[in-house]
């Protein structure tokens, strides 16, 4: 039996501790945490336990990598620290799991691409959904050709009104300059999945959207700066903070409530709402990221794909619809249900889906429509021990993707394959470029010629990146 993989973790927050640290705790035969860095003493203690070395800053830990001798590093720091930390880990020659987004700006991404070229850095990016049973089943159906040639892909990212208010109005991802545009922070997963299913980079990217609602002019009359300051709209405002953190989530002590601070008693929560960012009126925050955005992608094969992301949804999950020349697929990530309609009388579900994919089960087969075509329903379940999801309905850490990625990453550390295939920077790069192209399009650039645009972008990496996230005008085709 192989010895457990020795991991150093930079950032002991929601991802470092609750997602990846939890997997390590439940898989002591596969991995062990030997060092942790976090300035938050409580988080540091909680993840380091009694055995791991502790550091108050990631730089202190990285400086001692030679002595600590971990097999790999998990970079689960705030977005703005990713590139500096990943560069330092790459220079130390260690494989890493780098949280998404790999970099929060196009300039930082081109920097990181340069580091990968220079050092051969072995970077797996945290695109956890590729490792969720639901998306593996979808991909197996598509890859086997069961749907024929793909015509359309529609992904709907229902962010959930409460989740959007938490993360993208009051929280860490509210402001583009401080973090990144919503299309990157929230939907680089979706763009990655579209890219993965399409099998190629897009030819064009066009995107529209705006910050429609969470603006001062939409504040109810007399709304104070904080919900706790006697807001007259408390009873009917969907975003009234105490209703979420004190009532709906009163029994939750993990994510997202941990963001309130260390004291999660009712009094501690109330104090956090009175003082901290999560008690702010959603109409009086320093947010600027889009609250709804639709992106249209066209691929060389003729396939077109749309991604709709909206704050204004009841659910906090993804819907998927794929049409192909020989079939159709509908999926709902939260329930795990995937319906596959096969138009040809000889249409079959691929063997790769039936029986060989962990967590995927065929629950119903029948016929439908005027021609009696075959219709199958699959359900993809996260493993029972996978952690809680991010919303109050909380289903298994990214539908089992968090666990799936850790399982694959630790296996790849043992096999020496981090940095190749699905665990590589190269495989994640297009999704990030697609996000920046979409934001560039949304900001008024119209239809972006992705090939020319991304070519110009990688060129700027070798020439030295600029300060902003906008490529040269000459690489962009204006919408007619
Ligand atoms: N893969 C996914 O689906 C997914 C989901 C959510 C977040 N993320 C990404 O994961 C990363 C972490 O997000 P999170 O939700 O865990 O945030 P978090 O705020 O819960 O955790 C970040 C941790 O880093 C610590 N930290 C800050 N500065 C530090 C420093 N100088 N040295 C060491 N530690 C430091 C913070 O104290 C905190 O504990 C972000 O980049 C985020 O965008 C990815």
Residue 478, pLDDT > 60, answer: no
Q: Which of 22, 73, 77, 403 to mutate to test the pocket of ligand 1 (most atoms within 8 A of CB)?
A: 77
Q: Whose CA is nearest to atom 11 of ligand 1?
A: 76
pLDDT at 457: 67
Quote the ligand 1 centre to 334 CA distance (angstroms): 24
Spell out which residues line ligand 1, taking CB within 6 angstroms: 10-16, 37-40, 43, 57-58, 76-79, 81, 99-100, 126, 128, 398
Cis geometry, peptide bond prior to residue 64 (ω within 30 degrees of 0): no
What's the average model confidence in pLDDT over 99-125?
A: 96
Atom of ligand 1 nearest to the CA of 127: 1
Cβ atoms of 180 and 79 within 8 Å: the answer is yes
Confidence of residue 476 (pLDDT cuts 50, 70, 90): very low
> Closest residue (by CA) to atom 21 of ligand 1?
13
The answer to whether the beta carbons of residues 407 and 79 sit under 8 Å apart is no
The CA distance from 427 to 123, in Å, is 10
Residue 419 has pLDDT above 60, yes or no: yes
The residue assigned the tokens 């105490």 is 242
Q: What distance in angstroms lies between residue 76's CA and the mean position of ligand 1's atoms? A: 5
For a ligand 1 pocket test, name from 10, 12, 15 the mutation site with the most ligand atoms within 8 angstroms of its C-beta: 15
Express each pLDDT in 307-331 by its tens digit: 999 999 999 999 999 999 999 999 9
Report the separation in Å between the CA atom of 259 and the middle of ligand 1, taken as the mean of its atom positions.
11
Tally the C-alpha atoms within 13 A of residue 153's C-alpha that lie toward its C-beta. Answer: 31
User: What is the pLDDT confidence band of residue 396, given thresholds at 50, 70 and 90?
Assistant: low
Q: What is the DSSP string of 308-351?
A: EEES--S--SEEEEEEETTEEEEEETTTTEEEEEE-STT----T
Predicted confidence (pLDDT) at residue 72 exceeds the cutoff of 70? yes
Q: Output the CA 57–ligand 1 centroid distance in Å.
A: 13
Of 44-48, 92-96, 104-108, 452-456, least confident by mean pLDDT is 452-456
- C-alpha 79 to ligand 1 mean position (Å): 7
Label the pairing between strands 327-332 and 53-55: unpaired
In angstroms, rounded to a whole number, what is the distance separating the alpha carbons of residues 76 and 126?
Answer: 9
pLDDT at 385: 61
Give the residue, out of 54, 99, 387, with the most ligand 1 atoms within 8 A of its beta carbon, to mutate for a pocket test. Answer: 99
HSE-CB at 20 with a 13 A cutoff on CA atoms is: 30
Report the residue among 76, 101, 166, 255 best suited for mutation to probe ligand 1: largest number of ligand atoms under 8 A from its CB. Answer: 76
Q: Which two tokens stand for residue 342?
A: 């096969």
- CA distances, 364 to each of 81, 327, 339, 346 (Å): 47, 17, 9, 18
Q: How far is the CA of 172 from the centre of ligand 1 (A)?
A: 9
In this prediction, residue 13 has a pLDDT band, given cuts at 50, 70 and 90, of very high
Residue keyed to tokens 């108050």: 56
DSSP annotation of 432: H
pLDDT confidence of 239, banded at 50, 70, 90? Answer: very high
CA angle 227, 233, 239 (to 5 degrees): 55
User: Rounded to an integer, what distance in angstroms lies between the CA atom of residue 295 and that of residue 301?
Assistant: 18
Residue 411 parent element (H or E): helix 401-415
Q: What is the model's pTM?
A: 0.92
Which mutation among 20, 35, 38 tests ligand 1's pocket best, with the greatest number of atoms within 8 A of CB?
38
Task: Output the CA 367–ligand 1 centroid distance in Å.
Answer: 47
Q: How far is the CA of 124 from the centre of ligand 1 (A)?
A: 16
Rounded to an integer, the average pLDDT of 344-368 is 89
Ligand 1, atom 19: nearest CA belongs to which residue?
13
Euclidean distance between CA atoms 55 and 10, whole angstroms: 9
How confident is the prediction for the chain on average, in pLDDT?
91
Give me ligand 1 centre to Cα 38, in Å: 10
% of the chain surpassing 90 pLDDT: 85
Confidence of residue 392 (pLDDT cuts 50, 70, 90): very low
Distance CA 408, CA 131 (A): 8
The ligand 1 atom at the shortest distance from the C-alpha of residue 19 is 16
* Per-residue pLDDT at 423 exceeds 50: yes
Question: What's the 224 CA to ligand 1 centre distance in angstroms?
Answer: 30
C-alpha dihedral sign at 83, 51, 49, 24: positive
**Average pLDDT estimate for 59-64:** 98
**Residue whose CA lies nearest to ligand 1 atom number 14:** 14
Residue 384 has pLDDT above 80, yes or no: no
- 182-229 residue pLDDT tens: 999 999 999 999 999 999 999 999 999 999 999 999 999 999 999 999
With contact defined as beta carbons under 8 Å apart, do 128 and 101 qualify?
no
Write the residue with the smallest CA distance to atom 7 of ligand 1: 15
**Residue 103: pLDDT over 60:** yes
Ligand 1 centroid from CA 354, angstroms: 37
What is the model's pLDDT at position 462? 30
> Which of 58, 13, 54, 14 lies closest to 33 in space, CA to CA?
54
Nearest atom of ligand 1 to the alpha carbon of 126:
1
* CA 13 to ligand 1 center in whole angstroms: 5
CB 219 within 8 A of CB 281: yes
């Amino acid at each position: 039996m192989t010895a457990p993989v020795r991991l150093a973790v930079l950032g002991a927050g929601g991802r470092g501790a609750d997602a990846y640290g939890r997997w390590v705790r439940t898989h002591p035969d596969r991995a062990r945490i030997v060092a942790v860095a976090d300035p938050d003493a409580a988080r540091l203690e909680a993840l380091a336990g009694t055995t791991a070395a502790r550091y108050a800053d990631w730089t202190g830990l990285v400086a001692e990598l030679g002595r600590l001798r971990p097999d790999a590093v998990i970079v689960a720091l705030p977005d703005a620290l990713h590139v500096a930390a990943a560069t330092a880990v790459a220079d130390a020659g260690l494989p890493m799991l780098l949280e998404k987004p790999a970099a929060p700006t196009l300039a930082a991404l081109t920097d990181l691409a340069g580091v990968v070229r220079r050092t051969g850095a072995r970077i797996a990016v945290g695109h956890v959904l590729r490792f969720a049973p639901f998306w593996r089943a979808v991909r197996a159906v598509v890859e086997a050709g069961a749907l024929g040639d793909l015509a359309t892909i529609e992904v709907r990212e229902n962010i959930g009104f409460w989740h959007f208010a938490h993360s993208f109005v009051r929280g860490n991802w509210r402001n583009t300059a401080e973090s990144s545009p919503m299309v990157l922070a929230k939907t680089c997963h979706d763009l990655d999945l579209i890219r993965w299913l399409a099998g190629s980079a897009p030819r064009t990217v066009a995107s529209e959207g705006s910050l429609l609602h969470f603006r001062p002019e939409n504040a109810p009359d007399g709304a104070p700066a904080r919900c706790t300051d006697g807001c007259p709209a408390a009873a009917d405002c969907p975003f009234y903070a105490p209703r979420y953190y004190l009532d709906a989530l009163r029994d939750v002590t993990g994510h997202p409530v941990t963001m309130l601070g260390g004291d999660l008693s009712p009094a501690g929560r109330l104090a956090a709402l009175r003082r901290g960012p999560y008690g702010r009126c959603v109409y009086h925050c320093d947010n600027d990221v889009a609250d709804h955005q639709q992106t249209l992608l066209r691929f060389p094969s003729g396939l077109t794909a749309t991604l709709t992301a909206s704050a204004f949804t009841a659910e906090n999950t993804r819907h998927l619809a794929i049409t192909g020349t020989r079939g159709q697929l509908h999926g709902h990530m939260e329930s795990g249900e995937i319906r596959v309609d096969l138009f040809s009388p000889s249409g079959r579900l691929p063997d790769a889906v039936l029986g060989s994919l962990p967590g995927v089960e065929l629950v119903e087969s029948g016929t439908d429509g005027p021609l009696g075509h075959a219709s199958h329903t699959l359900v993809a379940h996260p493993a029972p021990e996978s952690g809680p999801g991010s919303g109050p309905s909380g289903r298994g850490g990214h539908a089992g993707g968090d666990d799936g990625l850790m399982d694959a990453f630790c296996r790849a550390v043992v096999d020496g394959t981090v940095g190749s295939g699905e665990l590589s920077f190269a495989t994640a790069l297009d999704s990030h470029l697609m996000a920046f192209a979409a934001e560039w399009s949304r900001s008024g650039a119209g239809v972006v010629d992705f090939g020319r645009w991304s070519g110009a972008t990688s060129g700027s990496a070798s020439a030295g990146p600029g300060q902003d996230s906008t490529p040269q005008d000459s690489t962009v085709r204006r919408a007619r």
